[in-house]
Amino acid sequence: MEFLYEYGLFLAKTITFVLAVIAILVAITATAIKQKHKKGELEITDLSEHFEEVEDDIIHSLLSKEQLKAKEKKDKKLAKEKAKAEKKALSDGKNDEQTSEDKKLFVLDFNGSIDAKEVSSLREEISALLMVANDNDEVFLRLESGGGMVHGYGLAASQLDRIRQNNIPLTISVDKVAASGGYMMACVADKIISAPFAILGSIGVIAQLPNFHKLLKKHDVDYEQFTAGEFKRTVTMFGENTEKGREKFIEELEETHVLFKNYVSERRPSLDVEKVATGEHWFGTTALELGLVDEIMTSDDYLVNANKTRKVVAIKYVMHKSLTEKLSKAVSLTLENTIGKLWQSNRIFPS
């Protein structure tokens, strides 16, 4: 009998364990299927709440017990007065008037790569905030990009134009770099702020490619290319480039540069575009003198000051990544950190 009891208990535990594993697998599968049809999701962060928590932590570490009690008593009194005032405003029919809590600052981030693939998330973020924002609110974009492909950054700038078309104030902050395509995005803003040593400008166009024709010819390798249309391909990596093809390619670059200059000029009419559209870049303080930016300030200072008068909310669209993508990113970051540490440890410092 004891054996049967032990066996029955073991069997019950085994069945329970198997059912638990099956339930977990079903849940994981259901989540995977759900995410398969969902490319990403919005993450909303209340930065005002974060600032308040940081402030409270610092105050609590500085004040004595007596001072903390006095502060808590004062805070409770202010909270009651505020709630009473809001209740009175509602009863008086003044609920349509916006308070500082109603006025919001929506914070976005754009850290651009060469192909500006981050525009996929940016368009989702802007579409989301346009559903709830109005002209009493403001959008604040922390921008970092050295530029890249024209069509990618052209689309990114067009996404920012959607904000201005809806009469919502747009401020762009550059803490490190907004050059070339990055500045194309920045110039859309009603106001550009910059850190003193941030890099801005580079209003120009560049294209370069190697040519292996001589190397192939030396080794008796023929390269054939077939096109329909005289300028379907102007320059090539493997064929022999002609002077006519080079001239056409340069003409296309010049055309792109003119479009770039016109785009900047339309959005910052007070800027002397011909003076700054030389392909050069400048640090923030010089950029202010040239009119490329409007004020020298970091994004941190702007957000802290804005938090005093309005609610600050960050919006981020996070793309779902497959397990393979996550693993490859982890490997690349590990290699990058390892190489960085090796480089740092082998640096020679002057005595």
Tens of pLDDT along 13-49?
Answer: 777 777 777 777 676 666 555 555 567 899 999 999 9
Q: Select the more confidently predicted residue: 96 or 299.
A: 299
Read off the tokens for 239: 């064929």
Give the C-alpha separation, 310 to 138, whole Å: 10
Give the C-alpha separation, 77 to 169, whole Å: 35
Q: What are phi and psi of 97, to 5 degrees?
A: -75, 135
CB 264 within 8 A of CB 187: yes
Nearest to 178, CA basis, from 158, 196, 198, 205: 198
Domains identified in the chain and CATH numbers: 46-51+100-201+290-319 (3.90.226.10), 203-279 (no CATH)
224: Cβ contacts below 8 Å, ≥ 6 apart: none
- Burial code (b: 16+ CB inside 10 Å, e: under 16) for 90-100 equals eeeeeeeeeee
315 φ/ψ sector (left φ>0, alpha ψ -120 to 50, else beta): beta
Mean pLDDT across the stretch 206-223? 89
Q: Select the more confidently predicted residue: 209 or 200.
A: 200
97 pLDDT higher than 60: no
Give residue-wise pLDDT tens across range 287-327: 999 999 999 999 999 999 999 999 999 999 998 766 565 56
Catalytic residue status for 332: no
Give the C-alpha separation, 209 to 172, whole Å: 33
Q: What is the pTM of this model?
A: 0.75
Average pLDDT score over the chain? 84
349 pLDDT higher than 50: no
Residue 179 is predicted with a pLDDT of: 96
Nearest to 147, CA basis, from 167, 190, 177, 102: 177
Give residue-wise pLDDT tens across range 98-113: 555 578 999 999 999 9
Read off the tokens for 39: 């490319």
Q: Which of the residues 61, 232, 345, 351 is marked catalytic?
A: 232
12 pLDDT higher than 90: no
Residue 348 is predicted with a pLDDT of: 43
CB 143 within 8 A of CB 163: no
Supply angle C-alpha 68, 71, 77, rounded to 5.
145
Instruction: Count CB-CB contacts under 10 A for residue 259.
Output: 13
Residue 351 is predicted with a pLDDT of: 36
Give the C-alpha separation, 341 to 343, whole Å: 5
Q: Which of the residues 173, 180, 194, 299 is marked catalytic?
A: 180
- Burial code (b: 16+ CB inside 10 Å, e: under 16) for 145-162 equals bbbbebebbbebbebbeb
Give the C-alpha separation, 321 to 351, whole Å: 48
177 pLDDT higher than 90: yes
Give the C-alpha separation, 145 to 178, whole Å: 5
Tokens 């200072």: give the residue. 301
Tokens 């993450």: give the residue. 43
CA distances to 111, 277, 321, 324, 332 from 336, in Å: 18, 35, 20, 18, 6
- Cα Rg for the chain, rounded, in angstroms? 29
Catalytic residue status for 270: no
CB 146 within 8 A of CB 182: yes
Read off the tokens for 25: 């697998």
How many residues comprise the chain?
Answer: 351
Q: Which amino acid would we find at residue 174?
A: V
Q: Which of 10-24, 112-126, 159-173, 238-252 has the lowest mean pLDDT?
A: 10-24
Give residue-wise pLDDT tens across range 223-256: 888 889 888 888 889 888 989 999 999 999 999 9
Give the C-alpha separation, 125 to 130, whole Å: 9
Map residue 333 onto helix, strand or coil.
helix
Supply angle C-alpha 180, 185, 187, rounded to 5.
90
